[in-house]
Amino acid sequence: MKSVKVGLLGLGTVGTGVVKIVEGHQEDLSNQVGSPISIVQILVKDRTKTRSISIDASKLTEDPWEVVRNPEIDVIVEVMGGIALTKEYILEALERGKHIVTANKDLMALHGPEILAKAREHGCDVLYEASVAGGIPIIRTLVEGFSSDRITKIMGIVNGTTNYILTKMSQEGAAYADVLKEAQELGYAEADPTSDVEGLDAARKMTILSTLGFRANVSLDDISVKGISNVTQEDIQYAKRLGYEVKLLGIAERQDDHISVSVQPTMIKQSHPIATVNGVFNAVYVHGEAVGETMFYGAGAGELPTATSIVADIVAVVKNMKLGVNGRQAQLSYNVVKLKTDEQISSKFFLLLHVDDRTGVLAQIAQVLSNCEVSIESVMQPSAPNQSSAEIIIITHQASKASMNKVLEAFEGLSSVRKIKSVYRVEG
């Protein structure tokens, strides 16, 4: 049985996990695909570095083009990260007939359509299960499991760092800044956490999920993004009192031919399964017209969970090689992206207002909401003795984003409203 030869671009945490699984599970892999799978060349930054696993030094190279242009290699696994140069390596590898497995969400979010088109042109596979939600097989599920259904909603926790921070704030009453520092010390957050906490990482993942789920080339610019840096302990505690948890959710919805995609801190009912997803775990909820509600949960990052998804993609590529069907599954989007207007985007909303503590203020607020055609589901005014200001908490019924924008604009001009403290979408 001829061995299938793999080249590995990158030997960091995930790359090391790939080597461990491929070398440690040879019998299982051979039985699945009918031939051995061997890693024959690995790109590293420093060949002399001491590593946690034993690797034949002759397999190591510091030149990425050696791997890309190696005629023996059938499949290239890219776990080095980066965008511009990495794209060059992958496009040339495809032109040379090599199949690609990647964990690079940034690359696929920005250049996925171009790369997949090149793959189809050259009869190659490009698989990227590990780019979203680590060890959860959500991409394969969207492509294959929902191939006969029409997806209407994808909602998920797709960033473990922010979920860890919000979980600690909720369960321990900790302040945002303190938990962020702890997350950095534990290695969950980068020294510069902007991509995570401002929602950019989640937005890239939602670009991929919504493109696959709706069969349309959704771009990063199509996504409304808001991070968690302004979420306060006060917001979280009020949410809990009302029966909600605060989560950073990616939400993609389709109605008729129009879609909306956003990433934002959201209050989700405690009875919803996503509300119970804590720590660094991820979860993706998918609603299909035929199947109804489904949810996928698991480790969103880490050496072995992510490496497991990568090796599963390698197995899929090799099976396609045996069948002679490589390049036929490249998901080229055929629907035109039609974004919902603010009038078409609707949800419930949570409002926290700081107002004058005097008679008639609540009536003024209710009148503003009524004038903007937004109805109230519930209202709460926590006691604030001996103060000139008060807090009013409102949860609305379903309302359009356009109507809510009018409400907020009216509140800004209302002298009795001192500050619009918080506004959150409400789900579940």
Q: Which residues are catalytic?
A: 205
The CA distance from 197 to 425, in Å, is: 18
Say how far residue 260 (Cα) sits from the centre of its chain.
15
Alpha-helical (H) ranges within 154-199 are 160-172, 176-186, 194-197
The CA distance from 403 to 344, in Å, is: 10
Q: Judge whether 282 and 156 are in contact, CB under 8 Å.
A: yes
The CA distance from 343 to 400, in Å, is: 5
The CA distance from 67 to 5, in Å, is: 11
The CA distance from 284 to 251, in Å, is: 10
The CA distance from 47 to 226, in Å, is: 41
For residue 104, the surrounding DSSP H or E stretch is none
Q: What six digits make up the tokens of 352?
A: 């926290």
Q: What six digits make up the tokens of 380?
A: 């709460």
Phi, psi of 412 (to 5 degrees): -60, -30
The CA distance from 171 to 245, in Å, is: 10
Q: Judge whether 17 and 306 are in contact, CB under 8 Å.
A: yes
Would you list the DSSP string of 119-151?
A: HHHTT--EE-GGGSSTT--HHHIIIIITTTS-E
The CA distance from 233 to 167, in Å, is: 11
